Amino acid sequence: MGISALVFSINEYKYVKRLVTLLSPYVNEIVIIDSSTKKDQLKKMRIIGRNKKVKLIWLPPLGMADFYYQIGIKECKNEWILMLDSDHFPSKKFLRKLNELVSVGYNGYKVGHFFRLFKKRFAKPSGIIHWVMFLKNTKTLRLDENYIKVVRRDNLEKMKQKYLVKYSKIEAFQAPLKILTVESIKREKILTPLNKNIVDLIYMPLSKISKISIYLSLFLYLLLLEIYVALKNKPKSLWLFYPISTFFYFIKSPYKNLLIAKIMKKEGTYNFLDLNSKTKLIKNSKILEFGSDGIENLFKLIEYKLKQYLI
């Protein structure tokens, strides 16, 4: 029963090198989806790619690894997948237990909040912009969160705050879809006491202006809820401005954001952005900037595909 390690990285050669050395004795192959943009990093990553166990694939940066889950999973040849970011550090205890874990009857294991070890055929990336691995109607188990640690945890909060405003632009697409998608409302328990009324409002034959007014009202409720959570959990954190910034970007162009959200809901994010095909993605990459941090590339790709969709 083979195991493929699936690793996502961008300009993080030293972490990837460490991870490859750590994983090699315990897995059958290591698939690396790399989006490095710096010449020295690309050169070093090619050296890692010479390792017989490593399958190195370069894809243009889009701001987060989530968009490459499906391509990455397709590239893995084994039944089981261990999915990691480049700065994840699996413990030796966990790695020594891998063969045991894949042979005791479960089809997926969560470490912390995420599925990190799972059978390929049960993997269903679920979400809108931020994708989470989701294993439906199958036997799963939660493992000790200390099995996988983040190497640079101390710098993580600073990094997130650095990209706070840019990520809130992405959330401006995701938030309306949380309102639009009934399944999402139920699964994520958003506005739980109002679920039935929300569903009724969404599907009422109203004018464009009326619908946008309803969405804005619901969006405002979500905003206040996010602010409450931010104040309760991290009163001194810059994360307080995250929902405010998201709301700002949404109302800046509500109809366009709703249009994109509806298309993504109808077509599926992967299909709409051609993220389920490595060939199509590389073809579309002509419009992207390889020196970008990735988030601006995502907006360019969305705009490009929107124009094609509306022709």
Q: What is the count of structural domains for the chain? A: 2
Nearest Cα to Cα of residue 34 among 57, 13, 14: 57
- CATH for 134: 3.90.550.10
Residues 260, 166 share a domain: yes
Listed residues 151, 183, 216: the one ending a domain: 151
Percent of the chain with pLDDT over 70: 62
Q: pLDDT tens-digit profile of 171-192?
A: 666 665 555 444 444 444 444 4
| 69-116 tens-digit pLDDT | 889 999 999 999 999 999 899 999 999 999 999 999 899 999 987 889
Q: What integer is the mean pLDDT of 257-282?
A: 80
pLDDT tens for residues 7-58? 999 889 999 999 999 999 999 999 999 999 888 999 999 999 999 999 999 9
107, 81: one domain:
yes
pLDDT at 212 over 70: no
- Check whether 211 has a pLDDT greater than 80: no
Q: Distance (Å, rounded) from C-alpha 187 to C-alpha 162? A: 30
What value does the mean pLDDT take over residues 149-164? 59
Q: Are residues 144 and 196 in the same domain?
A: no
Q: How far apart are CA 208 and CA 22, in angstroms?
A: 55
Question: Are 34 and 118 contained in the same domain?
Answer: yes
Same domain for 134 and 28, yes or no, is yes
Sequence-distant (≥ 6) Cβ neighbours of residue 266 within 8 angstroms: none
Domain ranges, residue 81: 3-151
Instruction: Tell me, yes or no, whether 209 and 145 share the same domain.
Output: no
Same domain assignment for residues 175 and 242: yes
Contact by Cβ (8 Å): 30, 20: yes
Tell me the pLDDT band of 118, cut-offs 50, 70 and 90.
very high
pTM over 0.95: no
* DSSP at 34: E
Instruction: Give the per-residue pLDDT at 18.
Output: 93
Residues constituting the chain: 311
**pLDDT score at 193:** 45
Q: Is 268 left (phi over 0), alpha (psi -120 to 50) or beta?
A: left
